[in-house]
Amino acid sequence: MAYQLKLHRDVEKQLRRIPKKIQERLVETMRSFRNDPRPHGSEHLQDELYRVRIGNYRIVYAIFDDEVVVVVCKVGRRSEKTYRDLEKLLDKAITELLK
């Protein structure tokens, strides 16, 4: 069963700031979440939140199995800030899910 993929509106802005070559890899990985939302190397962070590494970048996303939806909450370079507000990221994902 294929999952529906949703992107939080902030993700598009975040992607524009990333070099084209890496951007393509990130988008390809996000698209793969439709068929495999928990790929090898993904890490469970908290509640429905997961993250996957692509070089120095991270994709933070939420999986809602009951609704068969994956919501990408954040894409960015790995830093201390990346994981600081997981609750806020989860709220963004839930808001996007309910749209």
The tens-digit pLDDT sequence of the chain (99 residues) is 799 999 999 999 999 999 999 999 999 999 999 999 999 999 999 999 999 999 999 999 999 999 999 999 999 888 777 777 888 888 888 888 887
Closest CA to 15 of 61, 76, 90, 81: 76
Beta bridge partners of 6: 71
Distance between CA atoms of residues 12 and 87, nearest Å = 21
The fold adopted by the segment(s) 4-98 is YaeB-like fold (3.30.2310)
Domain chopping of the chain, boundaries: 4-98
**DSSP H or E run through 61:** strand 57-64
